[in-house]
Chains A and B, each alone.
Chain A
Amino acid sequence: MKKLLLTGVALSALLAMAGSANAAYVLGMKGPGAGNPFWAAVEAGAKAKAAELGVEVIVVAPPAESDVQAQITQIEDLIAQKVEGIALAPTDPNALAPVVDAAKAAGIPVVFVDTRGTNEGVTFIGTNNEVGAALAAKYLCDNLAAGSEVAILQGLISQSTGQARADGSKKGLTDCGLKVVAEQTAEWDRAKGLSVTENILAGNPNIKGIFGSNDNMALGASEAVKAAARTDITIVGFDANPDAAAAILAGDMAATIAQAPGNMGGFGIQALVDLKAGKTLEPWIDTGTVLVTKDNAADYK
C-alpha cells in the first residue's frame, strides 16, 4: 500500500514538473529540436524573438520527425489550453488541416512555418524549396561539364519539402544538360545517405556530381566519396548546417543552400503577435535562400 502511494506521489510530481503554461505563443515543429540542428535553429529564433517582444513561447515537437499523430495530439491539447497563437510546421499538411481549423474556430491565430499547410487564408512563413534546390542545381551546372552524370539523394518525398527539393533539383539539372542517372531517397538520414551513395557509386562509376536534399545526406555522401578515393565528385547539400559548413571549408563538400531557420522561428512569433494585434499579413513571407560556398561557409559554422 505504502509503495503504491509513493508511486502515485512520484507520478503526480512528474506531471507537475512537466507543467503547462497558459497565455503563451506556441511553436509547433515537425521534429525535435533535439535531433536536427535545423529545428534547433528555428527554436532558437523563436525564443530570441519572444524574449525581444517580451512574450512567452512554448516549443512542442513530435518525439520523432514526421510523427503525424503525435503532432495532432499536441496541437489539440494546446488549443484546449487556449494559447495565444500557434506557429506550426505541419508534419503532414492534410492531416493537420482539421486541427488548424479547430484552432481558428477557437479564436487562436495560426501561421505556418517551414512547410505550407492546405488551409485557406493562413500565412506561410518559409523557404521556397524549389527555388533553393534550383540554386543548388545551378551551382552544379556551372561547375560541371555539360552531359556529366549526376545523382540526386531525395528526402522523404511524401513530404512537400522533400518533393519540392527533388523536383527543383531535377528540373534544374536536366534543363542545363546534365544527366541525372540516379534518384534515390535516403530519408534525410546520414547513415542512409552514405549507404545509398555507396550503392550509386557502385552502379554508376562516372558520376561527377551529387545533390543531397539535406546536408545530413550530403555529408553521408561525402564519406562514401572519400572512402572511394574519388576527388572528382562535386557534392552540394541543402540547409547549411554547421557540419556542412565545416565540410565545405575542408573541401569535402562544394556547396550547400542556406535557409534561414532562425527567421522562420522569429518571423513566426512576430507574425502571431501582429495577428493578435489585429494586423493583416501577406500570404507568403519568404525567409530566403543563399548559396553557401567556400567564400561564405565560415559564417555558418
Chain B
Amino acid sequence: MSDTPATKSGFSLRGPGMSKFLEVYGIILVVVVMMAVLAAIKPDVFLSAQNLTNILKQNASLALLALGMYVVIVTAGIDLSVGSIMGLSMVCLAVASKAGVPWPVVLLIGPAIGLLVGWVNGVGLTVLKLPHPFIMTLGTLNVARGLTYLISNGAPISGLQPEVRYIGQAYFGLGLAPPAGIPASLILVAVCAFGLWFFLEKTNMGRHIFAIGGNPHAARVSGINVDQTLVVVYMISGFMAGLSGLLLAGRTDSGFPNAGIGIELDAIAAVIIGGASFFGGRGTVLGVLAGVLIMGILRNGLNINNVSAFWQQILIGLVIIIAVYIDVLRRRAAVRR
C-alpha cells in the first residue's frame, strides 16, 4: 500500500503528465482496444446499434451492483450478500406487484429491502464485531437467499405492472429500429454513478470512507465515526443491489428466486478489474464502470462469435488476472518515475 491517498482522485504528485493520464484513463483505453478488436472481427454485428444497446442493457444491473460493491471495497471490506439481496428484492417486489400494491410503492420495495439487509450487514460488522465483513455478508447471503425461496415458494412470479417494468425495460428509440436505443436502465446507472462520485469526492463522509480504507486506525484516531460510516457504506451497497433487482425484474418481467446467484463475484471482479484495491482506499467510479464494460463486452464478443460458454468462463478468469496484473505493472512504473 505505497499509494498516497491522493491517488484516489487520479492526482499523482510524482508522475508526469503521461503516467497520470494512464492512471486515470488507462482502463478506458482497454475498453476502446477491446471494442476495436471486436469491431474488426465482426464489423457488421458488433458496432450495430442493436448490439451496442444489448451490451448496455445486459450490464446495467451488474453496473449497479459493482458501484455498491466499489464503496465497500474502498473501505477494504467485501459484500457477498448483493446477489441474494437482488433475488430477495425481485421476489418481494414481484409478490407485491401481483398482489396489486400501487406501483409507486412497489418501486420502493427493492431499494428498501437492500437498505435493510445492508443495515443488518453494517450493524453485524460494527456491533457484533465479527472479525471480517466476509463473515457477516456470507451469513446474510444465505439468509436472504433462504428467505427468497420461502417467500416465492420456489416458483418464479411473473407478470409485473408495466410501471414497475419501466426502468428495467424501456428505452428511447431515437428513431433507430427496435430494439436499439438508449435504455432507461442506462440513465439510472448514470445517475447512480454520478451521485456516488459526488458523494465520495465532494462530501465529508465520502472522504472519510477513503480514509477508513487507507488506514482505519488513523481514521478512528482522527475523530472519524468509523462504525457509523461503515453502516452507511453497507447500506449503500444494499441499496444498489435492491435497485439492481428492480432493473432485472423489469427486464425479465419476473421475480425468479434463482436470480443473482453468484453475481456478487462478477461485481467484485468488475470493481477489481476497474482498478480498485482489495486493501482499500483506492479506485474510481469511472474505473468501476469500465470494469463492468470490459466484462460485458468480453461476454458479448464471445457470444456473437458463437464461442462456447465453457471457453467464456476460462477467458473471463484470465481477463481478471491479466487486467489486475497490468494495473500492478502500471502502478509500479508510476512509482518508479
Contact = CB atoms under 8 A, between A and B. Distances in A.
A and B part of one assembly: yes
Interface of A: 32-37, 39-40, 64-65, 182-185, 187, 189-191, 194-196, 198-203, 216, 219-220, 223-224, 227-229, 242-243, 246
Given A34-B257, A223-B251, 5 more contacts: A34-B150, A190-B254, A194-B251, A202-B54, A243-B254
B178 A228 contact: yes
Contacts of B48: 202
B141 to A, nearest CB: 11
A184 B303 contact: yes
Given A182-B306, A202-B50, A220-B252, A228 B179 contact: yes
Give the interface size class of chain B.
35 or more
Contact of A202 (B51, B149, B256): B51
Nearest to B178: A229
B258 to A, nearest CB: 5
B252 A36 contact: no
21 contacts: A34-B150, A187-B309, A189-B258, A190-B156, A190-B254, A191-B251, A191-B252, A195-B303, A196-B303, A198-B58, A199-B300, A199-B303, A202-B48, A203-B42, A203-B45, A203-B304, A228-B50, A229-B179, A243-B156, A246-B158, A246-B159
A185 B299 CA distance: 13
Report whether over half of chain A's contact residues are helix, strand or loop; otherwise say mixed. helix
Contacts of A36: 154-155, 258
Contact of B54 (A32, A40, A189, A195): A195
A251 to B, nearest CB: 15
Contacts of A189: 258
B54 A199 contact: yes
A228 to B, nearest CB: 4
B81 interface: no
A199 B306 CA distance: 10
B90 to A, nearest CB: 10
Interface in B2-48: 42, 45, 48
B300 A65 contact: no
Most chain-A CB neighbours within 10 Å: which of B42, B149, B258, B300? Answer: B258
Contacts of B248: 191
B54 A219 contact: no
A184 B248 CA distance: 21
Contacts of A35: 149, 154, 257-258
